[in-house]
Structure 1
């Protein structure tokens, strides 16, 4: 079966056991919100879209699959998970098809979110208005949903604090875990996973001393803080039997300095959560309580970049800590968190690890394991760790979770694959009328449109004004830490070759009339143009962000570089400058860095905290007034004049759409030329336009 498998990957494809459950290989798809088999933030039901996604992953050589976490008590409508019998019958009817793949399924169950529940502006209004709070209770009882071990501030909002849970509520949840696990067992599920003494969710808030100030049997001592998690596994084992596997999602270290304060890689800090000494004891204690596996990473919602690593985090960022904790238990241990297959395989071969956990790579390419086995890694569409479709909960000064309701209810979609968890909206339908289609612009959007058009049976032709495909993405992937983005660019260029797409480089198009005269549909993918603050004296002496990204950073070593604009692009440039030995200064007119929708808190908080740790000067509420030869003149937050010395000035103040022509009957504008966005909007736009032709 594995004839083409590289030798250094072979340890991943050996069988192992969790309890008495044998699993065919060591690849584990870890749980992601949105891939929930029994619904997510809506009435509990057997979710056909999630089932389709999970089945597709199972058919591509994955050993163990964990769907998205299922709240025991649903935040929406207040349902108990164990009460919908039809849902379990539907699950039971589907499971034979799943098990025919040879994969195993553990359903992840969660006690809830406590202070980590993502509060939106609408929720703030519901909570702060007593009448609305009362009227909303049947749909969303925020006081119950956000309840925690002790009165605590919410991670996202100062307006919706958490109250202390009662002992009766705890006992009710423990019983609900047992009843739900039993229903899942009866349906034919292979095991369950408890979420979690992990990531600062409710059970972890009980376990951690900085969030648990209780004085009853669920607070104070080590045993009391972990009692909730212990009672859950004991109740499940009592109901389902000792042989029914129960995994635990587990954060080895909290990596947390305090409320809303994470600890960055390599930072010296005082741990307020679970340090290694406590973790060594806790892992053994939880094994003795009855847990059959530890599915591990690090972090809390206060240090969210450990559990949801952005591209700035190092690969295998949690692996060493997970390998360490394995020494203290006899049950299988899985590591997740930017894990690379080869590093995991090496660790498994050395006996330092039992399973390798992967999540978002499956969103980008459900078949990546099969392709890896076949030695076709060049065909794997990479996850770029952007979080812009799967987890785009944005947070910055003055706002709670700034996220569209549609995004909040539909997680685990993918910026680079429109079909992921959206198969009814984006799908390949063969055309009955093949056409030649002109695509003006060979960036990511143009290439995605060409790919989909070809798969549908059309004949796309790309006209690119420059000498290479990629457009602005070439600049956007230039920083040293953006290897995954460069992999995506390479993948798209390869697709153009594999699919034999006709491409004309060095072919600027000034008018689309000739295409329309030939009765050809036209897709405009000409992107955007940078905004120029031409009224600012000296602006012509600034270097535009994309131009700067393609320049030689070595020239900036030890130089002081002023970055005008503290959005994501400006902050990533400043980050790269600092990594390369320059001295960046960020000047932003808003009251916070990366104050924009669509950028996940895991990503933005990393950059904000990194700049603070490295003492990178940041001027907020500051407006550029003038650019001089050796300085910029600004107006500060209080109206004061600021003179900031610098050797170079980089402009990153945003972009405007730059369409070649207006949209028409046969003209389709996509991506940034229609509306400036991000990789997600470009890829999805391109796919949607290609479906229409």
Structure 2
């Protein structure tokens, strides 16, 4: 093991509970022991994930947050005694790993509840509202400290919680914690004076406008969180550890307005001066640990950092906070393990929190310890599989229902939290399978086929594996994507997969009609051939692969690719201009609000011109002509024009003439994202 990492593998204590090392799996919705957005039960898939993390050398493990009042079906968590018995039977197996387990209990979401279009209909139709109440009481689920707008929807506002409801929740925390303790759990974590969830909404002045004992003064705003820990200690004893998920600074300018790194702004939530006072106050109330990051749902990119956020984005604030408390402090949020180890060594941090890296590779800590970092499949901070809750103008959470009900899956690892359908099954009849295309899809298919016992052979027309992902990973801030590309190329070598570079297959039938073939030839750019002067434009991939542009650059297309290109240009000191036909940027499914809101707010902060509901009409030398939604012509001066108008499938053979032994994967089947490419490649490889 690298000497610099060793401080992460030293013991520490939370109260009287000793933890074997400083690696903490922080909680993610979907990795729950008692189910997520379904009737409470002991969840075997969640338990398997948690156990695998513990077996792979995490010291403290926190499953997904468990609502003490279930948003679906309205159950109180303490009412199903059977699942606690099932948990108790499982705990000895968990404890064999030497790890400790804290279960995270949440009061809920309040105004941060991710409202969908279906929920808007249920709430606003009187008949449906009554009919849906037994399984989804939206009025209760979204209730907050004070009447306030929902983060996702203008059609489903939050009402004020009653004092009676608050007391119900306090009691539920105590009862649930006691049952968990009796089942053998090592501690609980209260969720959360953090990220703008319900308990946090009570503490934040821009949300809490109450005039009773739960609003107004500092003590009143933190009363709900204090009463909860006092009730848990009353039920479980003073020595039972209780952690608190805690945001050091809200990083919030107002409702649905975050503050970007380095931005000069006025804090409407919790600033550092209040935070150091609050941390001490909560410690004195009985909390034994603070599990920290920054942000709210209004500034969601702090708690769920996309790839645009700086590494270790929360660490400085967390280390500063530690100076004002005597209890252990953990930091989470795009942490570099070596930087975290340095902070532990210097006494500025007690534990290092990681979440999404465990989804990408549950064995990453073990590999880190055994000097096998090259074998770690990296998290690329995309949120495509784990938290693809997307939002754009006029549309609430536009996430597929299957994704809403099954969080904490992973775009780069099809097996994560899906071992019931995604698992390596040895082939009964090993055979040679020809793969046309050596992009990510082709390499994933080859990897899975080889693990099953088949003999995959890749044919790639260029001189290097990677396909369009080479361009997609080229931007300066996309080091994690380049890490994934390296990982895939390494897997081809480690597994001994036969690869033919500089080999273009124009007719897959050359292998014979009875041959097993996978087509993975990707997509090609959509050309705006109807636009006069379109030949003057630079295609997005050509730019990403190095084609030079001038100082002032018009980007045609404000989807994710176009917006990321504009962001890269801005980082270079160029002057990007975005032209988009839709009424919002990144107006597409599958892109998490944490990612898209960062880009939108970055462009607004830096005064980058964005023309929405605007159509390209003509490309001139030194300018473009566009038309707005009213048909008015706009002339935009620019030195270069980049076309990011999307992509279309590019199979080398049409679907209707394929043989029964041939299948299509990736963008040559249907243009999607990295998740759709990897998951389909995995599934096709498992069928062959």
Q: TM-score range by the shorter chain?
A: over 0.9
Matches within 5 A, 1:428-577: 428-517=424-513, 519-551=514-546, 556=550, 559-577=551-569
Indicate yes or no: 2:261 matched with 1:269. no
Question: Which residue pairs with 1:607 in the alignment?
Answer: 599
Deviation readout 1:649-671 (Å, 9 max, x if unpaired) = 00001111111222431111001
User: Helix, strand or coil for the counterpart of 1:508?
Assistant: coil
Question: Which residue pairs with 1:356 in the alignment?
Answer: 352
Matches within 5 A, 1:68-147: 68-147=64-143
Indicate yes or no: 2:682 matched with 1:687. yes
Structure 1 distance, partners of 2:278, 2:573, is 41
Structure 2 distance, partners of 1:105, 1:75, is 24
User: Helix, strand or coil for the counterpart of 2:555?
Assistant: strand
Structure 1 distance, partners of 2:111, 2:594, is 16
Report the TM-score, using the length of structure 1 for normalisation.
0.98
Structure 2 distance, partners of 1:639, 1:192, is 59
Structure 2 distance, partners of 1:576, 1:75, is 40
Deviation at 1:520, TM superposition (A): 2.1
Question: Which residue pairs with 1:676 in the alignment?
Answer: 671
Indicate yes or no: 2:63 matched with 1:67. yes
User: Are the aligned partners of 1:250 and 1:297 in contact in 2 as well (CA < 8 Å)?
Assistant: yes
Structure 2 distance, partners of 1:59, 1:679, is 29
Deviation readout 1:482-532 (Å, 9 max, x if unpaired) = 000000000000000000100000000010112234x32100000111111
Deviation readout 1:630-658 (Å, 9 max, x if unpaired) = 10000013221000011110000111111
Question: Which residue pairs with 2:36 in the alignment?
Answer: 40
User: Are the aligned partners of 1:435 and 1:520 in contact in 2 as well (CA < 8 Å)?
Assistant: no
User: Are the aligned partners of 1:516 and 1:522 in contact in 2 as well (CA < 8 Å)?
Assistant: no
Structure 2 distance, partners of 1:476, 1:165, is 46
- Within the candidate set 626, 629, 635, 2:618 is matched to 626
Report the TM-score, using the length of structure 2 for normalisation.
0.99
Indicate yes or no: 2:652 matched with 1:660. yes
Deviation readout 1:186-210 (Å, 9 max, x if unpaired) = 0000000000000000000001111
Indicate yes or no: 2:590 matched with 1:593. no
Deviation at 1:581, TM superposition (A): 1.1
Runs of 4+ in 1 over 3 A off after TM superposition: none
Aligned residues: 685
Indicate yes or no: 2:234 matched with 1:242. no
Indicate yes or no: 2:206 matched with 1:214. no
Structure 2 residue runs of 5 or longer lacking an equivalent are none
Deviation at 1:93, TM superposition (A): 0.7
User: Helix, strand or coil for the counterpart of 1:305?
Assistant: coil
Structure 2 distance, partners of 1:481, 1:449, is 28
Indicate yes or no: 2:639 matched with 1:647. yes
Structure 2 distance, partners of 1:574, 1:95, is 50
- Within the candidate set 287, 290, 294, 2:286 is matched to 290
User: Helix, strand or coil for the counterpart of 2:447?
Assistant: helix
User: Are the aligned partners of 1:561 and 1:649 in contact in 2 as well (CA < 8 Å)?
Assistant: yes
Structure 2 distance, partners of 1:312, 1:515, is 44
Question: Which residue pairs with 1:12 in the alignment?
Answer: 8
Deviation readout 1:345-398 (Å, 9 max, x if unpaired) = 000000000000000000000000000000110000000000001000000001
User: Are the aligned partners of 1:623 and 1:635 in contact in 2 as well (CA < 8 Å)?
Assistant: yes
Indicate yes or no: 2:400 matched with 1:404. yes
Structure 2 distance, partners of 1:281, 1:637, is 51
Question: Which residue pairs with 1:584 in the alignment?
Answer: 576
- Within the candidate set 183, 201, 224, 2:220 is matched to 224
Deviation at 1:552, TM superposition (A): 5.1
Question: Which residue pairs with 2:25 in the alignment?
Answer: 29
Deviation readout 1:131-182 (Å, 9 max, x if unpaired) = 1101100010000000001000000000000000000000000000000000
Indicate yes or no: 2:144 matched with 1:148. yes
- Within the candidate set 399, 423, 430, 2:419 is matched to 423
User: Helix, strand or coil for the counterpart of 1:306?
Assistant: coil
- Within the candidate set 173, 176, 179, 2:175 is matched to 179
User: Helix, strand or coil for the counterpart of 1:272?
Assistant: coil
Structure 1 distance, partners of 2:250, 2:440, is 38
Structure 2 distance, partners of 1:307, 1:350, is 24
Matches within 5 A, 1:328-339: 328-339=324-335
Considering only aligned residues, what root-mean-square deviation do their CA atoms show, in Å? 0.7
User: Are the aligned partners of 1:566 and 1:588 in contact in 2 as well (CA < 8 Å)?
Assistant: yes
Deviation at 1:96, TM superposition (A): 0.6
Deviation readout 1:447-471 (Å, 9 max, x if unpaired) = 0000000000000000000010000
Structure 2 distance, partners of 1:412, 1:30, is 12
Structure 2 distance, partners of 1:541, 1:453, is 43
Deviation at 1:326, TM superposition (A): 0.3
Question: Which residue pairs with 2:275 in the alignment?
Answer: 279
User: Helix, strand or coil for the counterpart of 2:302?
Assistant: helix
Matches within 5 A, 1:384-395: 384-395=380-391
Indicate how the Cα distance of structure 1 residues 459 and 542 shifts in structure 2: closer, same or farther if over 3 A, else same.
same
Matches within 5 A, 1:298-313: 298-313=294-309
User: Helix, strand or coil for the counterpart of 1:115?
Assistant: helix
Structure 1 distance, partners of 2:547, 2:223, is 56
Deviation readout 1:7-30 (Å, 9 max, x if unpaired) = 100000000000000000000000
